Amino acid sequence: MTTVGVPEFLHRTVLLDEAVDALAIAGPRAGGVYVDGTFGRGGHSRLILSRLGPQGRLIGFDKDLQAIATAEQVGDARFEIVHDSFASMSGALGARGIERVDGILLDLGISSPQVDDAARGFSFRNDGPLDMRMDTTRGQSAAQWLATETEQQLEKVIRNYGEERFAFQIAKAIVARRAVEPISSTRQLAGIVANAVKTREKGKDPATRTFQAIRIFINQELEDLEAGLNAAYAMLAPGARLAVISFHSLEDRMVKQFMAGKVKLEQPDRRLPIRAVDLPQPLMKLVAKTKPSGAEVEGNPRARSAVLRVAERLPAAVPPRAAR
């Protein structure tokens, strides 16, 4: 779909059928409420809508203004878009009178249109302003952050969020360069990193990890993910599913640990006189772990690192509501 006033960049939705299939939208659940926590260009949302019944409802979230512009053209009364992070879903859904939902999908990371648009500053492949904000109406840009942050904090962010072993050298080089001139473009930053990284991974640009780290930090992606996973679990109805697609190890590790923590609860000392029926019971069950097929990766190389994890909330996990 072409959005008026918005450059059109090709976007292929990763694990489209697999992710929507995982929500098990059928029978009575076709009339339920679903959440697409990362609308993007709407690939998952449109497929969800095609499977919902007339009484079904889909609430989408996105921080990106171009995604919001696309979402506003969907033209389906069952769909509503919220300009905010999925981390805010509890408040946003509560404000709409929604207490429980029948399925939640989170497609993490950035979309191809964001990467391919040089004006957004996410990629070093084309020169552009060093912005990197998913929501350009809020917060500081990457250039503003690089201009003021301490060398120690720069190193910490690049090391922790980019898993970059040359974080110290890169942070030192950034501080040295900004003393001479402002670092305001993607090509500038990529050049600084290339000169600081002494060895390169085969097939990977030396700036890849640094750009990933700064993007994650600027957009508070891991903080949003932690809050979003907790909010999603709290909103799931009995038998409802949470499906999450991640694209790098930091995200996937968080998702895996979160789901595992709901499946295998800490048990009391076996020497204590506790009946089996009174032991902590699993809150969720794992449903699937899926990766893109070889054919999908061949057609869309950006899908190669994607991992879909799905878990279902168990009925016994929802506490009884107090009498009103």
Q: Is 86 labelled a binding residue?
A: yes
236-246 and 307-313 as β-strands: parallel, antiparallel, unpaired?
Answer: antiparallel
Q: Is 107 labelled a binding residue?
A: yes
C-beta of residue 89 within 8 angstroms of C-beta of residue 231? yes
Q: Is 44 labelled a binding residue?
A: yes
Q: Is 162 labelled a binding residue?
A: no
Number of other residues whose CB lies within 10 A of the CB of residue 186: 26
Angle between helices 221-235 and 249-263 (to 10 degrees): 30
Q: Is 43 labelled a binding residue?
A: yes
Number of other residues whose CB lies within 10 A of the CB of residue 68: 19
Q: Is 62 labelled a binding residue?
A: yes
Q: Is 114 labelled a binding residue?
A: yes
Greatest Cα pair distance in the chain: 70
> How far is the C-alpha of 132 from the C-alpha of 210, rounded, in Å?
12
SS3 content of the chain, % helix, strand, coil (to 5): 45, 15, 40
Token output for 189: 């930053």
> How far is the C-alpha of 282 from the C-alpha of 229, rounded, in Å?
17
HSE-up of residue 122 (Cα within 13 Å, Cβ side): 18
Q: Which residues make up each annotated binding site?
A: 42-44, 62, 86, 107, 114
Q: Which residues make up each annotated binding site for S-adenosyl-L-methionine?
A: 42-44, 62, 86, 107, 114
